[in-house]
Structure 1
Amino acid sequence: MSENSESLQQYVQLMTQHQGALRAFIVSLMPGNPDVGDVLQETNLVLWQKREQFEKGSKFLAWAFTIARYQVMQQRDKAKRDGRLVFCDELMHSLSEPDTEDHDDEQQLRALEHCMNRLRAAERELIRHRYTKGCSLEDLAQHQSKSAGALRASLFRVRAALKKCVDRQLVEGDPA
């Protein structure tokens, strides 16, 4: 990729356009981890430093997910050295396999909405409270008189079920 003004502008546009997907991917690899923002920032830094290596016309998001996965692994190794609990290698690998199929955002949102509607009311409320209200699990746990660990486990199970459902919907086509 040559460093002319137009290609640089296109690259910045690609980076900006995919920030939400990158953050979501990193969150999926680091659920409940407060370092998500730092890893996203490091990922963006590496994406910028490697902008010359990006092949115009190739799948930017797949390339960015690969870089993000390596940044998550570096953060994971640092956490291990600091004595913090981290996912095992097998789980990390299975979580980090990005969906390489091209699905537009609207298609994914329809599938997610369909799958959200299939959840039990308590599961839907947990997802909404955590992600749309921006509430921490600790605050939610205190509000519901439950432990943060129990909510974290529930959230992990619900997210896994949602991912499976969304993937199935994307393969089968639009939900009816």
Structure 2
Amino acid sequence: MDDSTQQPRAEQVGVDQGEVFVRLLLEHEPQVRAFLRGLLPTWNDVDEVVQEASLIAWRKFSDFEQGTAFGGWFLTIARFEALKHRRRIARTPLVFADDVWDLLAEESTQDEPQPLYRKHLEKCLAKMHPDKRDVLLRVHSAGVVIRDVAIQSGKSEQAFYKAIQRLRASLIDCVSKSIGIENA
């Protein structure tokens, strides 16, 4: 074969690799987004980290061994990107300490099915006082700046952050207990 027949084949392999990458990315992105949402304060942060992780994964896709777990590989890239992002936003009062990050990351990778957690989360949210539930859901909505919500509530930022932390803790406690009761 001469060089002219080799060129289209190399381009064809590149196209196939791109298609393979996009298929794998689309298949595993929802799981990575859910994982990152447990680590990052807003959906905007999740979008930013997923975008960056996707670019890095694309650049390194030639190093990925076909037949191995793309989801785990992509999740690892996303986790490191989340840590970088966390360092950039470290001055925000809602950033967790490193040990909490590690615990959240470990719990997020466990085999517990996401629908079970969501079912219990919905039940616990329904049990909350409507005003508290509305505030908690509002601060977790896309594009919401918690500082603005604090000002609207008439509380100081610090008092508002503490109130949100207490609401989150009670919600996590409720979900944990509810799952524990179901598994018992």
The two structures have a TM-score, normalised by structure 2, of: 0.64
Relative to total residues, which structure has the larger helix share, 1 or 2?
Answer: 2
Instruction: Please say if residues 121 and 175 of structure 2, whose CA atoms lie closer than 8 Å, have aligned partners that are also in contact.
Output: yes
Structure 1 unaligned blocks of 5 or more: none
Aligned with 1:111 (options 117, 120, 141)? 120
CA root-mean-square deviation? 3.7
Contact 1:115 1:165 in 2 (8 A): yes
Paired residue secondary structure (1:38): helix
- Per-residue CA deviation, residues 6-49 of structure 1 (Å, 9 max, x unaligned), is x7545424423544543443343232697554323211212223
**Does 1:93 find its partner at 2:105?**
no
Bigger relative contact order, structure 1 or 2, given CA contacts below 8 A and separation 6+? 2
Cα drift, residue 125 of structure 1: 1.0
- Indicate if the aligned counterparts of 1:39 and 1:72 stay in contact, CA closer than 8 A: yes
Map of 1:149 onto structure 2: 158
1:44-63 matches, cutoff 5 A? 44-52=54-62, 53=64, 55-56=66-67, 58=69, 60=71, 62-63=72-73
Aligned to 1:30: 40
TM-score (norm 1): 0.67
Task: Give the stretch that moved more between structures: 25-34 or 122-131.
Answer: 25-34
**Aligned to 1:73, which of 72, 83, 107?**
83
Of residues 104, 123, 133, the one that matches 2:132 is: 123
3-state DSSP of counterpart to 2:38? helix
Do the aligned residues in 1 keep the contact of 2:44 with 2:143 (CA within 8 Å)?
A: no
The offset of 1:90, in angstroms, is 1.6
Alignment size in residue pairs: 167
Give the match for residue 4 of structure 2.
Answer: none
Extract structure 1 runs of 4+ deviating beyond 6 A.
none
Contact 1:32 1:152 (8 Å CA) reproduced: no
